[in-house]
């Protein structure tokens, strides 16, 4: 038995044991969020006679999967037991062998899975293999919770496009800050900022506009006051994306001094001065991707569909967009938003001095976008509201 095993016998309790152990596996999976891309975050728990004999989670792409770690921790105690896993075990050879083979070899008699793997290489084949080898299978336990943990992976593996989270810090009257700020003014509390950086961490990239970059000169890194998180971030693949049609990004920007790649999307029309700016930015290490632009409401705007397709090709699976009013308007109106997070702060700035987040969204009469599946996180007087859009 693993030295980290729980010796608490759970057979005497009346709650759903399958849900209990899947919930534990889901908590383990969360430890891998932000570190496993382009793989899913997965947790596994091995149980025998109501006692946990092994557990583990997938820590990084290319390293052992959760099931293998849990079974190795369990050793011989796995024989005749049940393995609880947050995602259908894989049945294909990738950087590691199929987990279903390890499960069969270990003598596991029952597999409980939270959700099927939508990866076309798996997609039910793992459970089918287990059934064909005499192993009892149960699927769909806490599937909604499991889907949320891997929403980034599920979108990417089924569409090739990144999961886009749009996050905004707003006052009670919908302002991002003051119109005339000459330097960055935080309306969020320090604890809320730290939580925002955690949201960054579980994504592969953060996206802003050139206007925001020039105004605020952000580092676009992840700053969480835990030494282990800092260390994990510095080992993580990280991309700072700037939408900059005219390549006005200053070469001395802080983004060139912080961890991660700098990816700048620019319009594909060049004059001599812009060619010179491109060379300067490439010398600083920037990756420049040229994009066709769309003319909307009299403005030249980068083709966001191409932008996100290119990100998908680069295996950027999840993007956190921290948008100003113009980019926010484009993302919402063009339906490039899989999740919307508002950090609502306890201030009112008014229309005269406030920078209105919603001012560029002009709907027709009776036009609206519905949002659902609200989750709420309270941090002192700040509130985080997370929604999923229901685009028509």
- For the segment 61-79, the average pLDDT, to the nearest whole number, is 94
| Of the candidate ranges 5-14, 223-232, 282-291, the one whose mean pLDDT is the lowest | 5-14
Annotated binding site for Zn(2+): 65, 90, 99
- As a whole-number percent, the residues of the chain with pLDDT over 90 amount to 80
Question: Are β-strands 287-291 and 261-267 bridged in parallel, bridged antiparallel, or unpaired?
Answer: parallel
Residue 226: what pLDDT? 79
Residue 372: what pLDDT? 96
Tell me the pLDDT tens digit for each residue of 110-128: 999 999 999 888 888 899 9
Size (the chain), residues: 392
Residue 240: what pLDDT? 98
Residue 201: what pLDDT? 96
Are the CB atoms for 383 and 195 separated by under 8 Å?
A: no
The answer on pLDDT for 72 being more than 50 is: yes
Residue 15: what pLDDT? 56
The answer on pLDDT for 6 being more than 60 is: no
Residue 5: what pLDDT? 43
- For the segment 59-71, the average pLDDT, to the nearest whole number, is 93
Residue 339: what pLDDT? 98
Bond before 262 cis per omega within 30 degrees: no
Tell me the pLDDT band of 185, cut-offs 50, 70 and 90.
Answer: confident
Tell me the pLDDT tens digit for each residue of 133-144: 999 999 999 999
Residue 122: what pLDDT? 83
**Distance, CA of 361 to CA of 368 (rounded, Å):** 10
Tell me the pLDDT tens digit for each residue of 293-340: 887 766 778 999 999 999 999 999 999 999 999 999 999 999 999 999
Tell me the pLDDT band of 181, cut-offs 50, 70 and 90.
Answer: low
168 is catalytic: no
Annotated binding site for substrate: 200, 220, 223, 322
Are the CB atoms for 129 and 117 separated by under 8 Å?
A: no
Instruction: Tell me the CA end-to-end span of the chain in Å, nearest whole number.
Output: 53
Residue 194: what pLDDT? 94
The answer on pLDDT for 132 being more than 50 is: yes
- For the segment 245-272, the average pLDDT, to the nearest whole number, is 96
- For the segment 127-156, the average pLDDT, to the nearest whole number, is 95
**Domains of the chain in sequence order:** 17-147 (3.40.140.10), 160-390 (3.40.430.10)
Beta-carbon contacts of 286 under 8 Å, excluding residues fewer than 6 positions away, are: 249, 256, 262, 263, 264
Residue 4: what pLDDT? 45
Write phi, then psi, for 383 (nearest 5 degrees): -130, 135
The answer on pLDDT for 14 being more than 50 is: no
Beta bridge partners of 57: 43
The answer on pLDDT for 9 being more than 50 is: no
Are the CB atoms for 2 and 53 separated by under 8 Å?
A: yes
Catalytic residue among 55, 59, 67, 88: 67
Residue 93: what pLDDT? 67
Residue 116: what pLDDT? 93
3-state helix/strand/coil string of the chain? CCCCCCCCCCCCCCCCHHHHHHHHHHHHHHCCCCCCCCCCCCEEEEEECCEEEEEEECCCCCCCCHHHHHHHHHHHHHCCCEEEECCCCCCCCCCCCCHHHHHHHHCCCEEEECCCCCCCCCCCHHHHHHHHCCCEEEECCCHHHHHHHCHHHHHHHHHCCCEEEEEEEEECCCEEEECCCCCCCCCCCHHHHHHHHHHHHCCCEEEEEHHHHHHHCCCCCCCCCCHHHHHHHHHCCCEEEEECCCCCCCCCCHHHCCCCEEEEEEECCCCHHHHHHHHHHHHCCCEEEEECEEEECCEEEECHHHHHHHHHHCCCCEEEECCCHHHHHHHHHCCCCCEEEEEEECCCCHHHHEEECCCCCCCCCCCCCEEEEEEEEEECCEEEEEEEEECC
Tell me the pLDDT band of 184, cut-offs 50, 70 and 90.
Answer: low
Tell me the pLDDT band of 1, cut-offs 50, 70 and 90.
Answer: very low
- Among left, alpha and beta (phi > 0; psi -120 to 50; other), residue 316 is beta
């Amino acid at each position: 038995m693993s030295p980290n095993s729980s010796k608490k016998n759970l057979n005497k309790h009346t709650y759903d044991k399958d849900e209990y152990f899947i919930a534990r596996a889901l908590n383990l999976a969360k430890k891998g969020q932000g570190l496993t891309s382009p793989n899913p975050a997965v947790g596994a728990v091995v149980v025998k006679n109501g006692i946990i004999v092994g557990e583990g989670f997938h820590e990084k792409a290319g390293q052992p999967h959760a099931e293998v770690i849990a079974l190795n921790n369990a050793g011989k105690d796995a024989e005749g037991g049940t393995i609880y896993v947050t995602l259908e075990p894989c049945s294909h050879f990738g950087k590691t062998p199929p987990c279903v083979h390890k499960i069969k070899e270990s003598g596991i008699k029952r597999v409980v899975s939270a959700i099927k793997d939508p990866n076309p290489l798996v997609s039910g084949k793992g459970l089918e293999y287990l059934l064909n080898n005499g192993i009892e299978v149960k699927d769909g336990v806490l599937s909604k919770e499991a889907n949320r943990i891997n929403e980034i992976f599920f979108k990417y593996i089924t569409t090739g496009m990144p999961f886009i989270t749009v996050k905004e810090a707003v006052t009670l009257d919908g302002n991002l800050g003051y119109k005339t700020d000459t330097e960055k003014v935080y309306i969020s509390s320090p604890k809320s900022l730290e939580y925002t950086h955690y949201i960054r961490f579980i994504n592969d990239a953060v996206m802003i506009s050139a206007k925001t970059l020039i105004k605020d000169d952000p580092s676009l890194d992840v700053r969480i006051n835990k030494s282990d998180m800092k260390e994990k971030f510095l080992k993580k693949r990280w991309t700072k994306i700037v939408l900059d049609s005219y390549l006005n990004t200053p070469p001395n920007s802080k983004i060139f001094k912080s961890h991660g790649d700098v990816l700048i999307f620019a319009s594909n029309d060049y004059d001599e001065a812009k060619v010179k700016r491109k060379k300067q930015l490439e010398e600083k290490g920037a990756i420049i991707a040229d994009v066709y632009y769309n003319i909307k409401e009299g403005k030249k705007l980068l083709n966001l569909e191409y932008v996100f397709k290119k990100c998908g090709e680069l295996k950027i699976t999840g993007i956190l967009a921290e948008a100003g009013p113009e980019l926010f308007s484009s993302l919402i109106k063009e339906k490039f938003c899989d999740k919307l997070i508002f950090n609502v702060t306890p201030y009112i700035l008014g229309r005269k001095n406030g920078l209105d987040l919603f001012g560029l969204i002009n709907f027709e009469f009776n036009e609206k976008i519905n949002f659902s599946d609200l989750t709420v996180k309270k941090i002192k007087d700040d509130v985080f509201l997370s929604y999923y859009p229901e685009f028509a």
